Structure 1
Amino acid sequence: MGIEFLEYSVERSVARMPVEGNRQPANLLHGGAYVVLGESLGSMSANLYAGAGRLAVGIDINATHTRSATSGWVTAVCTPIHLGRSLTVHEIAVEDEQGRRCSTVRITNLIKDAA
C-alpha cells in the first residue's frame, strides 16, 4: 500500500500513503485503505506503549469516512485517547493534501503478556 511512517512515538505517530495504487474503480481512495492505514499506525503505537514482553492485539476498529481522496497523498495522525495497563485506545485522523478530513479511525487494543 506504500505506507510511509514519518513519526513514531507513544504520544503521536504520523504516516502517509499515496492515493495512486490504492484506488477503487471509481478512481477514489477506498475506505478499506483508510482502515488499513489507521490500523497499522494505531497498532504500532500500542505495541510501542506495551513495551518488551507485552503485545497489543487489535480488538475493535471503528472507522468513519467523510470523503475520498482522489490524488496525491493522505496523511494520518495517531494520538492516544486512553493508555492503560491492559487496554489502549487510539484515534487516527486521516486528511488529504488540502487538509480536509477524509476519515477517522478508532482502534482499541488489548495489552497482554507475549507468549
Structure 2
Amino acid sequence: MSRWKHPDPMSMLAEANKNTAMETLGIEITCIDEDGLWGEMPVDNRHRQPAGLLHGGVTCVLAETLGSYGSWLLVDSERYQVVGQQISCNHLRPVREGRVKAFARTVHVGRRSHLWDISVYNGTEKLVATSRLTVAVVDRR
C-alpha cells in the first residue's frame, strides 16, 4: 500500500501547478516514489540574481514546493490543508545555467507537522543546496 493518499499524484500536482509561481518558474515534479519526490527547474533569467547566479530565494521556492506537495500527498486533503511553517536553506555552490533537480524526503511525519530534508543538485549531480522544511498540518475550515 502506498504512503500517498492520492491515487494519481503526478496528475494532481501537474494540475495544481497551473497559474502559480511554480508554473512561472518552470518547476516540475518528475518522480514520486515511496522514498520521496523529485522535481526539476531550469536556471535562466527568471531564476538569477543580479550577479548571474541562481537566486537563493528561488532555490527555496523549489525546496518548499517539493516538501509542501509531499505533505499534501500524505494527508486527507478533504480534512486537512498543509502550509509551510519554517524553511532554512544552505547554499553550497553557485549555478549559472542549465537545470537543477531536487529530492525531498521525510524526516518526521506527525499528525500536525511534517519535517522534510530537500537536496538540490546541478546538472553534474553535485550538491548545490540543502534545505529543511517544516510543514504544518491544519484542519480545513
Residue identity opposite 2:76 in structure 1: G
Change in 2 beyond 3 A, CA 1:54/1:10: farther
Which of 98, 122, 132 is the matching residue for 1:96? 122
TM-score by length of 2: 0.77
Structure 2 CA distance for aligned equivalents of residues 89 and 9 of structure 1: 17
Aligned 8 A contact 1:10 1:49 in 2: no
Q: Any conservation in 2 of the 1:10–1:80 contact (CA below 8 Å)? A: no
- Deviation beyond 4 Å, 4+ runs, structure 1: none
Query: Structure 1: where are the runs of 5+ without partners?
Result: none
The alignment status of 1:15 with 2:39, answered yes or no, reads yes
Specify the alignment match of 2:7 in structure 1. none
| Match 1:63 to one of 75, 89, 103 | 89
Give the match for residue 40 of structure 1.
65
Higher relative contact order (CA 8 A, sep 6+): 1
The structure where helix makes up a greater share of residues is: 2
Choose between structure 1 and 2: higher strand proportion.
1
Identity in percent:
34
Deviation string 1:45-89 (CA, Å, 9 cap, x unpaired) is: 011112231111211111111111112100000000001111100
- Number of aligned pairs? 115
In 2, Cα distance between the equivalents of 1:31 and 1:106? 14
Residue 26 of structure 2 corresponds to 2
Contact 1:64 1:105 in 2 (8 A): yes
